[in-house]
Amino acid sequence: MSTVRAITAEAAARVDVHLMDPEKGGFKLEQLMELAGLSVAETAFQLVHERATVETGSRSGVVAVLCGPGNNGGDGLVAARHLTHFGLKPVVLVPKRVEREPFVGLMTQLRMLGVPSATLDDMDLILSDAVLVVDAVFGFSFKGQVRAPFDRVIKALKSHEHKTLSVDVPSGWDVEKGSTTADGFSPFALISLTAPKICSRQFKGRHFIGGRFVPLDEFNIDVPMYAGTQQSVEIANDSVV
């Protein structure tokens, strides 16, 4: 497949609604987060090992995972758990705590595994030390201006964009228009969930697709086929239309 069609935020929302309809998809939100987070973790694991080989031959394996208050952040928390089981050392940073499920349970799981939870005061040091940064702050439902404390987070991500993997949409981007400022944040890698969003047409870095749990034929989504047990697959950065 030479091209991959991008979808709108509205189309992405319709897929989620369908999947979580008891009579149609039968999924729970927690299941979708688990599957999405696993695909993010697989991609992050691959990138960490590539960077270790290319840059130094030996890295600490520390991965900074920045999580927002929405479902994108939940995907990041799940990814952090899997990265621990993959033998890496995730550190999670949740700028705005969420006191509802499934987030409370996800944070409990990470504490049980001994995954450190950093604060905004630790952010610059954590990002500097990390071999990879996972941006799971905002997803396809983000609209408007970035407000505190997330403006500080996006600014920090900009300084480390050369080693940042964004989840679904680079945080702060308009899901339809993309980056709206000339000097905006642009990560080196992106993992689109289910299918690329419209904004990814302007993305020029390494691009992965994750989320093989969606019935593609039903939604007329054309993404590359996953091989074997793959949870993510890389696509050409000029293939999104």
Full set of structural domains in the chain with CATH? 9-235 (3.40.50.10260)
Asked if residue 138 belongs to a known ligand binding site, the reply is: no
d(CA 237, CA 241): 10
Asked if residue 122 belongs to a known ligand binding site, the reply is: no
Query: Which residue shows structure tokens 């940042």?
Result: 164
pLDDT of residue 72: 95
Q: What are phi and psi of 38, to 5 degrees?
A: -65, -40
pLDDT of residue 57: 44
Asked if residue 143 belongs to a known ligand binding site, the reply is: yes
Asked if residue 86 belongs to a known ligand binding site, the reply is: no
Reference 133, options 163, 106, 175; nearest CA is 163
Q: What is the chain's pLDDT, residue by residue, as a tens digit (241 residues)?
A: 568 889 998 988 988 998 999 998 899 999 999 999 999 999 999 999 997 765 544 456 899 999 999 999 999 999 999 999 999 999 999 999 899 999 999 999 999 999 999 999 999 999 999 999 999 999 887 877 888 899 999 999 999 999 999 999 999 998 888 887 656 799 999 999 989 999 999 999 999 999 887 766 667 777 778 889 999 999 987 888 8
Angle of CA points 40, 212, 190, to nearest 5°: 35
Asked if residue 178 belongs to a known ligand binding site, the reply is: no
Asked if residue 72 belongs to a known ligand binding site, the reply is: yes
C-alpha separations of 154 from 18, 62, 128, 148 in Å: 32, 20, 15, 10
Token pair for residue 14? 């319709």
Q: Which residues of 223-238 are buried (b: 16+ CB within 10 A; e: fewer)?
A: beeeeeeebbbebeee
d(CA 80, CA 216): 27
Asked if residue 70 belongs to a known ligand binding site, the reply is: no
Query: Which residue shows structure tokens 């999405």?
Result: 36
Asked if residue 145 belongs to a known ligand binding site, the reply is: yes
pLDDT of residue 135: 98
Asked if residue 200 belongs to a known ligand binding site, the reply is: no
Token pair for residue 31? 């299941």
Determine how many CB atoms are found less than 10 A away from the CB of residue 147: 7
Asked if residue 219 belongs to a known ligand binding site, the reply is: no
d(CA 52, CA 109): 28
Asked if residue 171 belongs to a known ligand binding site, the reply is: yes
pLDDT of residue 39: 97
Asked if residue 220 belongs to a known ligand binding site, the reply is: no
Token pair for residue 167? 């989840």
